[in-house]
């Protein structure tokens, strides 16, 4: 049995691409570095992470980017014997303005060295590149209108100012007339445009309804690429907005691919809500699903009928659900599961010594510049994780430990530090009040000499830290580490991470070693 989502844990905004019998999905990474995750499969059942192309300063530098800024909605395509990747680096997202810079890079192999990018524009986000049959290339993105009033029933619609199209080439950049090709349906918030051609029609897939529980995949078509485009007779191809009890929600934002065997598929963004003390929450963030579609009367429809993508896929093969990771950090490279935040200069945060992962304490967990946080995605609703540390912090200004993290104002941490001359483990949280961002101190417990192992156990909305296998401190609210957790009106687009963190608030770069890390969600 193959179940949705197919890419579990934080993997939103899936761009779907086929090259021969090889399938690729590129997803957003927001403030996590390196940028853009690309997974590969040959059976559409089992997917393997093969590349994060935006891996150097010339391609991406997110220091100073806000939470949920950075890399939004990539578009991966294949043309002229090479891959093309379009991506956005969002420098501001709250308030009237969106400072969203759009780029294109290319490479002959998916896991090769991608070229320094071409800068394209900043008129909006969710850009894509369409390679037409005559060799021309068209750049398409939603347009952001900062002049919205900020209130009233149509305010959100006013911000999303339609889909624009313009010709592009590596030599000339954008050129020729700009075309407003689609204003969207009455659901509004029209974004994530992807064009494809089939049997005399240009088809435009968009996402609508926002990234929450009203999300949807909308389809339109035209005989001419410049439009006008007519909307699908059912308006949406995929959505769960009218099925609040369905186990998979937030369906929207995807891309169509015709399989090598003649079957037809559409990727989509989704989330798996679970009960929490403040209401449903998606601990695993926004994930990637897949649905089989079919053509009827010149339009795409879900093959299973209706608009709700099935939770099970008609594919043969054994899907791997649940994972275990055991790292002793003896290799030369950081294991691929891990990422860090914002900076293209990871050597300032950590080094691989050949026997351990050495963290260099930098700024606080609240920083937008240099945080020594090395973490991996939470992929299921329940898991255990642990890390073994060699650390002797000289004062309360230095610390190292385990962290469950969503963003700078939503995290829990168990930190080895020093208080009144004694080594202790301090349990702290930032509880999601994005305006105040104050720490809550839950407990301080004595820390034994020598190597110690800090762990965390998560089951739904319950989280418990451990020290050398014994519970410490109170049970914490794991639902905080989610899109829905916390207080205030602010964008939340990512997912839960768990990992190790160090800081040195004196600015002197104190170091600590991590000798082992384990993660297991086969519970």
Which of the residues are catalytic? 370
Please name the helix (run of DSSP H) or strand (run of DSSP E) that holds residue 159, with its range, or none: helix 155-159
* 121: nearest Cα among 161, 165, 79, 159: 165
Nearest-angstrom CA–CA distance, 378 and 367: 22
Contacts of 262 (CB under 8 A, 6+ apart): none
Query: Which tokens hold the place of 7?
Result: 């890419």
What's the CA gap between 498 and 204, in Å, rounded?
37
The DSSP-derived string for 168-191 is EETTTEEEEEEEEEE---TT---E
Q: Which positions ≥6 away from 493 have C-beta within 8 Å?
A: 12, 28, 30, 68, 72, 211, 286, 483
Closest to 48 (Cα-Cα) out of 6, 106, 81: 6
Judge contact between 196 and 256, C-beta under 8 A: yes
Whole-angstrom distance, CA of residue 251 vs CA of residue 246:
11
389 burial via Cβ count (<10 Å: 0-12, 13-18, 19+): buried
**Whole-angstrom Cα distance, residue 484 to residue 161?**
27
CA neighbours within 13 Å on the CB side: how many for 3?
A: 8
Residues 391 and 416: beta-carbon distance below 8 Å: yes
DSSP string of 195-251, one letter each residue: EEEETTEEEEEEEES-SSTT-EEEEEEESSTT---EEEEEEEEEE-TT-TTSSSEEE
Instruction: Please name which of 163, 155, 172 lies closest in space to residue 123, comparing C-alpha atoms.
Output: 163
Cα dihedral sign, 203-209-210-212: negative
């Amino acid at each position: 049995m193959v179940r949705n989502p197919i890419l579990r844990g934080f993997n939103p905004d899936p761009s779907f691409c086929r090259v021969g019998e090889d399938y690729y999905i590129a997803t957003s990474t927001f403030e996590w570095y390196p940028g853009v995750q690309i997974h590969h499969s040959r059976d559409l059942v089992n997917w393997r992470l093969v590349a994060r192309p935006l891996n150097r300063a010339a391609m991406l530098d997110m220091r100073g980017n806000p939470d949920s800024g950075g890399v939004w909605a990539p578009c991966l395509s294949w043309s002229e014997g090479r891959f093309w990747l379009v991506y956005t680096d969002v420098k501001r997202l709250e308030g009237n303005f969106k400072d969203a810079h759009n780029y294109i890079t290319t490479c002959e192999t998916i896991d090769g060295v991608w070229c320094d990018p071409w800068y394209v524009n900043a008129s909006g986000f969710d850009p894509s590149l369409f390679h037409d049959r005559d060799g021309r290339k068209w750049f398409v993105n939603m347009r952001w209108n900062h002049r919205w009033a900020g209130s009233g029933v149509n305010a959100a619609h006013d911000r999303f100012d339609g889909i624009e199209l313009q010709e592009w080439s590596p030599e000339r950049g954008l050129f020729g007339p700009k075309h407003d090709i689609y204003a969207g349906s009455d659901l509004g918030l029209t974004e994530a445009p992807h064009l494809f051609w089939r049997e005399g029609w240009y088809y435009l897939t968009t996402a609508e309804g926002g990234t929450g529980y009203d999300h949807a995949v909308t389809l339109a078509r035209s005989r001419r690429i410049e439009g006008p485009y007519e909307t699908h007779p059912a308006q949406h191809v995929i959505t769960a907005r009218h099925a609040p009890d369905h186990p998979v929600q937030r369906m929207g934002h995807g891309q169509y691919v015709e399989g090598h065997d003649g079957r037809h598929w559409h990727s989509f963004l989704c989330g798996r809500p679970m009960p929490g003390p403040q209401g449903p929450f998606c601990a695993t963030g926004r994930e990637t699903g897949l649905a089989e579609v079919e053509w009827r009367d010149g339009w795409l429809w879900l093959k299973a009928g209706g608009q709700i993508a099935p939770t099970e896929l008609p594919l043969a093969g054994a899907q791997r659900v649940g994972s275990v990771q055991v790292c002793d950090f003896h290799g030369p490279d950081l294991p691929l599961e891990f990422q860090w935040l914002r900076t293209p200069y990871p050597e300032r945060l950590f080094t691989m010594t050949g026997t351990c992962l050495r963290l260099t304490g930098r700024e606080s967990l609240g920083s937008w510049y240099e945080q020594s946080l090395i973490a991996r995605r939470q992929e299921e609703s329940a898991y255990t994780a642990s890390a073994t540390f060699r650390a002797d912090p000289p004062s309360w200004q230095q610390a190292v430990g385990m962290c469950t993290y969503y963003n700078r104002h939503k995290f829990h941490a168990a930190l080895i530090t020093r208080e009144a001359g004694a080594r202790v483990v301090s349990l702290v949280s930032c509880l999601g009040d994005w305006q105040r961002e104050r720490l809550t101190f839950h407990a301080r417990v004595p820390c034994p000499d020598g190597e110690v192992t800090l762990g965390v156990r998560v089951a739904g909305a319950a989280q418990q830290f451990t020290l050398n296998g014994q519970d410490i401190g109170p049970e914490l609210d794991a639902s905080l580490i989610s899109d829905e957790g916390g207080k205030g009106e602010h964008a939340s687009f990512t997912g839960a991470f768990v990992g190790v963190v160090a800081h040195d608030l004196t600015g002197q770069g104190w170091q600590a070693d991590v000798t082992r890390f384990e993660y297991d969600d086969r519970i």
